[in-house]
Structure 1
């Protein structure tokens, strides 16, 4: 046992010695210091017992703690391994993501299909995917129609229909039909790669609960040391060194935070894996704990509460020099390269009307307002009415006010030479999951707030249908950020947006949640990313946040509770009643505590 104990102490104890050194250098002894103290005392006392018993044959024989030492190091190493494993990958669901891509892809070159390694795919390569095959990269369909199974990537259980110009995600499975797509992102920028980076980043972040566990371990270090010294002095006076020394050593051994060391890493690993399985990508593990304390949920309208699939319901001229068709063609020229949700409705109408449009030059975003660009030598702006207030725009107020009173359409105005020359109206629909999400928030006393850049009539209509009493319209991105800051003064705040112009609010909120099924969602600004474009996933997020917080608290109590009970018993506080905790019994209790903590973490569920 002495040989095995020595190997375990010097080799298995390395991670703890290194951690303790760092803690002492920063003058913040914690879990690593407590473990190091316990195993060091156990080891050297056991070596002393071997020498005393076998060389000097002392009577009564001195107890040795090699068995307790071995058990202690093994369990603490198990906790360390679990923690490192959660950093490398948060569960099997995320591990599987790296295996979703096929090894080879069928690339179309000069009319011929050739097989190449997926790692060699380049942006703009055209790839053919046959029925039942895995999609090897992110891209846009250029030929064919199919249905795609994205369940392993996004968690979406239903087959998703795809046609020309629709996005496909690498790792999804082509259900039926052969199609061709153009690669739009290199492997390093792919959706799958971002998912892996997000989960790894989440596991590397120390949660608030883990910080609490470390702080508790710090208190235990001083408490155990103090109790051991006091117990040694008291028992030295009462029964002498032969009784006092083993008791002091037992206190230090039992004080090691076995279960406490496993308490939080197990829950973090389990919750991050569960989240990934359900289409929730956690960038920051502490975000789940913050989400459980949220009082206000501020959210964008377009793309978050509404589908963002705009349909052009009308377009009209407001200037005799332009025909109705001219208005649509100019708008199409400006919107053809835009990724904004409003652009899709315009371009669909252009295609349906078989219009030939010119390429616009120098097209730029006017943040919060719309677009500006050069079409056929003239400068045009396609903007919301908010643009009028900050620019010298000439328009018929009666006509514009009538258009803005439309509660079913988002209105954009076409401007040339500071004059309104036309208007287009696009309608959107509320997502089916929006109402259940709002109802859940209200039932749990969380106030929903809708923020939108759209006009007041549209905002009022959507808010009324969803039961949102607090909403603000005609906002610029910087306005939303200021409102988020204002609500933060009242209490913890979450912001939910689709990533379009929402980056300042997402990063500024206590919890930023990006929602959207596309690969271009602004994940860099958010703490949590909802892969599916379904507001009901916010409900799952809150449920998981609540259960994760509960499990962490339970595990902390189980972990710390063992030490709170065991240390006084080991010190002999109930010795007068014949109760004195031996190292053997302490090890059994330690094992039971560890098992309880592990099982408790594994019972974590989303719903």
Structure 2
């Protein structure tokens, strides 16, 4: 157990620290690099052209060299490292293109500086201005993007927090002692009282109860547990006190197995290449090919190494992705801002690009399509000796101090109906049966159906059929050994869920319901909502396997859920969407969070994704499209006709495209 918590803590700290360190690292590097870049921009010419605000003084070229060297090594470090990683994977992309641009700019400029020192009359153009602007703009782009996407804390850490820190262990002499969870071993006997979290997987050796497993398995209905039944660590004990023999701790426990599934899915989930990376990859190959070709051709034509070298370098500098580096981050920043205003928290940029390709939406039932909490769905009076309101007052008296899910549902209902419960005396908890006490001088009980059958009390059994079909839990009020009323509690379908399913179908997507709830309740909800395909009684590994089967066939799957049991599936799916009112574990495992817990926001997300994709493509054309003309001209393909791109014109084109992509990103809108 200690080993599990230790590894979880290490993982959680590393995960959250890794993201925050990257974001603060880019922020710090940007500001320091900007300070270094400002003097360079005022002193060094832009591609050989002196701008109106620039000036020089004795030794200014040395100052530029020193500042540019620090800037290249410090500000360029993440791009050089990123390029090394991309080349190691044989997949050059944005980092490689940036690294090529800043490296060529720097080393050629150092060469130009040396040549100018040796022969001041024959001035060689340097690219220190381009080096400074490229590094600063790229750092800004990465910082904007990382700042836009929310910081995802660690789902595994949240799972560990589901278990209590202290547990009550039974000694051989029958006494109890409170010990840290880490000290628990297999076969230890633990006492779990009403309302307590079950600290470990185990088998009940004494007592009966009902257990709320909704957060762990997705079963919305309280599960009755008797002796020899298994219980799961992390679930919540209901009405009875039980003793359990521990069967699973640490890496052998149920929660630990769910964590392993999450970690495995995180590792195996394919990270699709960003659209900008694909463009950058092709631009890298084109620039490299064009630059080398220009060098060879010019060397053959002019037999002048310096001219050939300058043409090659000019091609590489022209291809530097100033605008490309901002094209996507600015759209992402705009998208996340719009999303937040519409109840969407975007945690993974991939989701914005992938949502356009979705084919299936897998939906958890409990908490996603339903409210995820017990609500009174009906009250049936068996006798007319008292009114329904009086019966509810008696039930409220018995349940007022209980903290299990059924009691909470009943008391919430009484509060909504403005019904004040009676007072109760001599209240007792009958393990595995219910509650008994004296209300208004009468012996009153709220019990389960098992107790009604034991007492052989007859009543019209057809009254309960409708509720049972919906998967409701039934409780019975008995006063002075006479059955008075039946109260049904169940998980209610969200009012907006039916329209949501209709909207999904209208978009050509196929909804599939996956739930840990029993198949009877699942079928009832699916029929009501118009979902043709559903799977009930699923464990977390079952949900994940279903999604993995679809994904492995190349199908694009969105998973929507809110519970711990959904975490592996949310990670495994192409896009994981968590309901904001769900567990922290689900939220931390997802790519998108619905902060308003409204499934209809998924439709809004799909629309935003579509608009975002359009803007990304437009910006990529503006950010890289000018290279279609600029690179060949820089290489000198029209030189025989006297047309050769002036490097200054290339710089102006780069600046203009940067302004255009920024303006275009701000025009992003989404339909309400």
TM-score, length basis structure 2:
0.57
Aligned to 2:512: 449
Instruction: Report the CA distance shift for 1:601/1:359 in structure 2 as closer, same or farther (over 3 A).
Output: farther
What SS does structure 2 have at the residue aligned with 1:13? helix
> Which one of the candidate residues 103, 106, 112 is aligned to 1:37?
103
The CA distance in 2 between the partners of 1:347 and 1:373, in whole Å, is 22
What SS does structure 1 have at the residue aligned with 2:363? strand
Alignment of 1:209-358 (within 5 A): 210=274, 213-214=276-277, 216-217=279-280, 220-221=283-284, 223-241=286-304, 243-307=307-371, 310-314=375-379, 328=395, 332=399, 336-338=403-405, 342=409, 348=415, 352=419, 354-356=421-423
Shift of 1:262: 1.9
Instruction: Report the CA distance shift for 1:335/1:536 in structure 2 as closer, same or farther (over 3 A).
Output: farther
Alpha carbons 2:149, 2:348 under 8 Å: kept: no
Instruction: Report the CA distance shift for 1:479/1:445 in structure 2 as closer, same or farther (over 3 A).
Output: same
Alpha carbons 1:516, 1:531 under 8 Å: kept: yes
The CA distance in 2 between the partners of 1:599 and 1:343, in whole Å, is 56
Aligned to 1:65: 126
Alignment of 1:489-568 (within 5 A): 491-499=555-563, 502-517=566-581, 522-568=586-632
Instruction: Report the CA distance shift for 1:207/1:568 in structure 2 as closer, same or farther (over 3 A).
Output: farther
- Deviation track 1:236-266 (CA, whole Å, cap 9, x = no partner) reads 2212315323212212221222222222222
What SS does structure 2 have at the residue aligned with 1:298? strand
Instruction: Report the CA distance shift for 1:231/1:503 in structure 2 as closer, same or farther (over 3 A).
Output: closer
> Which one of the candidate residues 499, 503, 506 is aligned to 1:440?
503
The CA distance in 1 between the partners of 2:454 and 2:573, in whole Å, is 35
Alpha carbons 1:258, 1:594 under 8 Å: kept: yes
The CA distance in 2 between the partners of 1:397 and 1:547, in whole Å, is 63
Shift of 1:513: 1.7
Shift of 1:354: 0.9
Shift of 1:587: 0.7
Instruction: Report the CA distance shift for 1:464/1:25 in structure 2 as closer, same or farther (over 3 A).
Output: closer
What SS does structure 2 have at the residue aligned with 1:314? strand
Shift of 1:409: 5.6
Alpha carbons 1:411, 1:424 under 8 Å: kept: no
Alpha carbons 1:512, 1:528 under 8 Å: kept: yes
The CA distance in 2 between the partners of 1:300 and 1:279, in whole Å, is 19
Alpha carbons 1:33, 1:221 under 8 Å: kept: no
Structure 1 runs not aligned, ≥5 long: 95-204, 364-371, 386-391, 416-420
The CA distance in 2 between the partners of 1:315 and 1:501, in whole Å, is 34
Q: Rg bigger for which structure?
A: 2
Alpha carbons 1:295, 1:492 under 8 Å: kept: yes
Alpha carbons 2:148, 2:332 under 8 Å: kept: no
The CA distance in 2 between the partners of 1:275 and 1:530, in whole Å, is 10
Shift of 1:446: 0.5
Alpha carbons 2:65, 2:110 under 8 Å: kept: no
Alpha carbons 2:587, 2:593 under 8 Å: kept: yes
What SS does structure 2 have at the residue aligned with 1:64? coil
- Deviation track 1:509-534 (CA, whole Å, cap 9, x = no partner) reads 33222224578784223322111132
The CA distance in 2 between the partners of 1:533 and 1:25, in whole Å, is 42
Structure 2 runs not aligned, ≥5 long: 1-43, 45-60, 152-268, 384-389, 438-445, 477-482
- Deviation track 1:258-301 (CA, whole Å, cap 9, x = no partner) reads 22222222222222222223221122222333333221112234
Alpha carbons 2:623, 2:661 under 8 Å: kept: yes
Alignment of 1:84-99 (within 5 A): 84-88=143-147
Instruction: Report the CA distance shift for 1:494/1:356 in structure 2 as closer, same or farther (over 3 A).
Output: farther
Instruction: Report the CA distance shift for 1:551/1:281 in structure 2 as closer, same or farther (over 3 A).
Output: same
Aligned to 2:648: 584
Instruction: Report the CA distance shift for 1:510/1:328 in structure 2 as closer, same or farther (over 3 A).
Output: farther
Instruction: Report the CA distance shift for 1:471/1:260 in structure 2 as closer, same or farther (over 3 A).
Output: same
Mean Cα deviation higher: 30-39 or 470-479: 470-479
The CA distance in 2 between the partners of 1:80 and 1:329, in whole Å, is 62
> Which one of the candidate residues 469, 473, 483 is aligned to 1:412?
473
The total of aligned residue pairs comes to 463
The CA distance in 2 between the partners of 1:340 and 1:514, in whole Å, is 27
The CA distance in 2 between the partners of 1:606 and 1:248, in whole Å, is 44
Alpha carbons 1:41, 1:253 under 8 Å: kept: no
CA RMSD in angstroms comes to 4.7
The CA distance in 1 between the partners of 2:77 and 2:68, in whole Å, is 13
The CA distance in 2 between the partners of 1:267 and 1:75, in whole Å, is 19
Shift of 1:586: 1.0
Alpha carbons 1:19, 1:32 under 8 Å: kept: no
Aligned to 1:169: none
